[in-house]
Amino acid sequence: FIISTKIGRNSPDISKMFNFSYNDIIKSTYESLDRLKLEYIDILFAHDVEFSLDQNVILTETLPALKFLKDHGKTKNIGISGYSLSCLKDIIVKSTIKIDFVITYSRYTIFDDTLKNFLPFFEVSLSIIDQKEQNVVVINGSPTGMGLLTNSGPPCWHPAHRTLKDSCKLVVSEFEKYNLNVSEYAIKHALNNQLIDVVLIGPKNLPELINCCKASNQKLTPQEEQFINKVQNDYLRNLSLQVRSWEGVEVENYRKQLEESNRCNST
């Protein structure tokens, strides 16, 4: 088995939510190791890196801290995670430190397949250090779009555009009409792309876990692929990328809340 953890996102308190500084990354990692009673972590991720107010902090503090931890045997691999694929790519291009893994989520789904445009880069990215090719392992999280492609629907806080939520409801209804499990199809759709190294799923209960295992052990049939294409054409194809994704929405909301919190604290 592989154990990974993430650092950088620390607290629900908006003023303390993110800390990507060198010292805090080191401190958080040792706290995690202590809680987990482990000597090392297999993969250590800097989490939600697009929320950093200054990308330079990621490059000059976060990644050097992860490199220190790797050099001292506290992690075997360095990773970064985030929703914004362009941000992940930009950090990899600029970094002088080898990044082994990336996690992104909801970017290769039935409604948004933006990840496929970035897969060739992650597969063969050039090191800024010596221009040698380096493979970055891609972990594709949440093929159901954080609940959009489930019978129960997304949580109330889901940042997706209202139009996308409504369209996904219609997609789910179309699957239900034929007594098909939309989540199972969504998982198989993600697994069908051989350039994606890992599909990460977070089942909430045993039935969901069983469903995930079932989906992972069955390939997408031509008939199933045809049905997915049909619902995409009927309900999703005409939606713009700005509607099919929510890139920037959460970051903008975070920065507005942080500014408001800072104003309140200064008065």
Each residue's pLDDT tens digit, 185-207:
999 999 999 889 999 998 888 88
Measured between alpha carbons, how far is 93 from 91 in angstroms, rounded to an integer?
5
For residue 132, the model assigns a pLDDT of: 52
* Average pLDDT estimate for 12-27: 94
Give me the CATH number covering residue 204.
3.20.20.100
Residue 165 near residue 158 (C-beta atoms within 8 A): yes
Give the model's confidence band at 146: pLDDT under 50 very low, under 70 low, under 90 confident, else very high: very high
Domain limits for position 120: 4-262
pLDDT at 159 over 80: yes
Phi, psi (rounded to 5 degrees) for 80: -130, 150
Do the domain assignments include residue 192? Answer: yes
Contact 6, 47 (CB under 8 A): yes
Please determine, for residue 249, whether its predicted confidence score (pLDDT) is greater than 90.
Answer: yes
Report how many domains make up the chain.
1
Structural domain includes residue 267 = no
Residue 218 lies in a domain: yes
C-alpha 51 chain-centroid distance: 13
User: If residue 122 lies in a helix (H) or strand (E), which one and from where to where?
Assistant: helix 115-123
Q: Rounded distance, CA 172 to CA 153, Å?
A: 9
104 assigned to some structural domain = yes
| Within-domain flag for 117 | yes
Q: What average pLDDT does this structure show over 136-163?
A: 95
Is 209 a domain residue? yes
248 within some domain? yes
Question: pLDDT of 219-231, one tens digit each?
Answer: 899 999 999 999 9
Q: Is residue 66 part of a domain?
A: yes
